[in-house]
Chains A and B, each alone.
Chain A
Amino acid sequence: MNQQKPMIELRQIRKSYGSHEVLKGIDLVVPRGKIVSIIGPSGSGKSTLLRSINMLEETSSGEIWLDGQQVNRPLKGRVFEKHINHIRQEMGMVFQQFNLFPHLTVLQNIMIGPMRLKGLTKTAARDRANALLAKVGLADKGQAYPARLSGGQKQRVAIARALAMQPKVMLFDEATSALDPELVEEVNQVMKQLVSEHMTMLIVTHEMRFAAEVSDHVLFMDGGVVVEQGDPRQILSNPIEERTRVFLRKHLSN
């Protein structure tokens, strides 16, 4: 496999709700093993962009590529379903609202994907789930139901659930935005650990300092376009565009 080929590549992604265009031709590249963060105000289209990569959102036009395969191939019906289900197994997604399955225990939440979709035996799936739980610091919570967990714990389980599919890339959609401030750090720690393991990650976040610390590349989006992008230190300390300056002044001060 060509090491130069980007893990994720978006070409001229557009999306409209009726006459309102929320993504106005976005290009984005996430190289293998790199961390890219997208920052920007609410309604800038950054979450929509992230969600369109695994096609939880449909796009109007443009191309989405994952590791040399086109994600949004022009297929129909069952053929498309099969294709997208397969592609989605290669992308882990972490949601703002965790979205754990409340009727399943923590272990079952993590095991169900590998067992049903990857054909792992129960024993193999449990071993993998336990190892991941240990990794996110929740080795003792396997038998608990999600309702018993704090927000930070839920999100760490959600990360473990996504990792259990052994994805090529992890997509984080405001993973810490719904958490109480004192719970943000434990989730950030897990994300940092993934960074150190060279997981390819695309992170949509409100947390400028975290983005600056872990990212190789930062994009600032506003109004459905990428206003500015580059090295995180440069973007966050010395942005060129006025819109970026205004946004950062508001967000870094508080």
Chain B
Amino acid sequence: MDFQLMGQILPFMAEASLLTVSLTVYSLVIGLFVAMIVAMGRFSSVKPIRWVATAYVSIMRGTPLLVQLFIIFFGGPQFGLDLKPFSAGVLTMGLNIGAYMSEGIKGSIIAVDKGQTEASRSLGFGRFDTMRLFIFPQAAALMIRSLGVNTVILAKSTALVSTIGVVELTYSAQRFVTSTYKPFEVFAVAGAAYIVIVGAILLTVRGLEHLFDAHRKAAA
């Protein structure tokens, strides 16, 4: 076990993990946006919109992320979508995690009591206002955990974009392996970096939960 090597590559891996973090953050933003639209689509009163939303979730969850990544990165140019590796990675992961996240959002919305919708509609609020003013704020507290779990999965799956040449944590590690021939040490450092990232996500989730809990306690 070469601790000295581990110490030497640590600063470089830390820098590479910044790219992993930014991949995660950008994908998360796209993912949340997609998830919101897909979740709304699944509650649409228009049947074809519901079908499209459901089909989207089935396709994104039914195929490997790596295949989706290759379709967008390698297949995209055939249709004029010529993206840089970083952008292709962010787009694919955003579209992918959005499908998973939409399920969590949908579940939280369903979990809000039907009586809330009835009260809102009976006052004269429309469907959209009912969702925006009454259902969604109550569902938000319920969806934090599932969104957090999905964000953890997202952060770890950023490793896959190493396959299309983004020099994030995993790809950096591979490069160090070719120059040092010490795969165990190098990947152990990479693993530790992922744990730090995941830990930060979990802490954020817990913080958000406390925030909502505090609000609920004030309400209780």
Binding site for A on B (CB under 8 A): 113, 115-116, 118-127, 129, 133-134, 137-138, 215, 218-220
Contact = CB atoms under 8 A, between A and B. Distances in A.
Nearest to B128: A81
Contacts, number: 68
A11 interface: no
Given A95-B115, A99-B115, A147-B220, A116 B125 contact: yes
A148 B220 contact: yes
A1 to B, nearest CB: 21
Contacts of A221: none
B119 A117 contact: no
Interface of B is mostly: helix
Contacts of B123: 88-89, 113, 117, 161-162, 165
Interface in A90-105: 91-93, 95, 97-103
Interface string A71-91: 000000000010001111101
18 contacts: A56-B121, A56-B122, A85-B124, A88-B121, A88-B123, A95-B122, A99-B115, A99-B119, A101-B119, A101-B120, A102-B219, A113-B123, A116-B129, A117-B123, A145-B220, A146-B219, A158-B119, A162-B122
A112 interface: yes
Interface residues of A, number: 31
A101 B129 CA distance: 14
Given A101-B134, A116-B129, A145-B219, A95 B124 contact: no
A148 B219 CA distance: 7
Report, nearest first, the 10 A-B pairs whose CB atoms are least far apart: A89-B124, A99-B119, A145-B219, A99-B115, A93-B122, A88-B124, A113-B123, A147-B220, A85-B124, A103-B137
